[in-house]
Amino acid sequence: MPIRYNYSEIKKITNGFKNKLGQGGFGSVYKGKLRSGRFVAVKILGKSKANGQDFINEVATIGRIYHVNVMRIIGFAVEGSKCALILEFMPNGSLEKYIFSKQGVIPLISEGKDIETQEDATEYEKKILKKMMIVALWCIQLKPDDRPSMHKVVEMLESDIDFLRMPPKPFLSPHQILEDDDKANPTKLSDPPNDEYTDSSYKFGR
Instruction: Name the percent of the chain lying above pLDDT 70.
Output: 56
pLDDT value for 14: 96
Does the annotation place 169 within a ligand binding site? Answer: no
Q: How high is the mean pLDDT of the chain? A: 71
Q: Which of 88, 114, 137 represents a domain boundary (last residue)?
A: 88
Distance CA 90, CA 98 (A): 12
Q: What is the domain extent for residue 118?
A: 95-184
Same structural domain, 35 and 79: yes
List pLDDT tens digits, range 102-154.
Answer: 555 555 555 555 555 556 678 787 788 788 888 888 888 877 888 889 889 98
List pLDDT tens digits, range 51-87.
Answer: 667 777 777 766 666 655 556 788 888 888 888 888 8
Q: Does some domain include residue 203?
A: no
Same structural domain, 74 and 121: no
Q: Sheet of 3-4: strands edge to edge? A: 3-4, 73-79, 82-88, 39-45, 27-33, 20-24
| Phi and psi, residue 40, nearest 5° | -140, 165
Q: What domain count does the chain have?
A: 2
User: CATH number, domain at 67?
Assistant: 3.30.200.20
Q: pTM score, two decimals? A: 0.45
Q: Does some domain include residue 202?
A: no
What is the C-alpha end-to-end distance of the chain, expressed in Å?
Answer: 41
Residue 16: is its pLDDT beyond 70?
Answer: yes
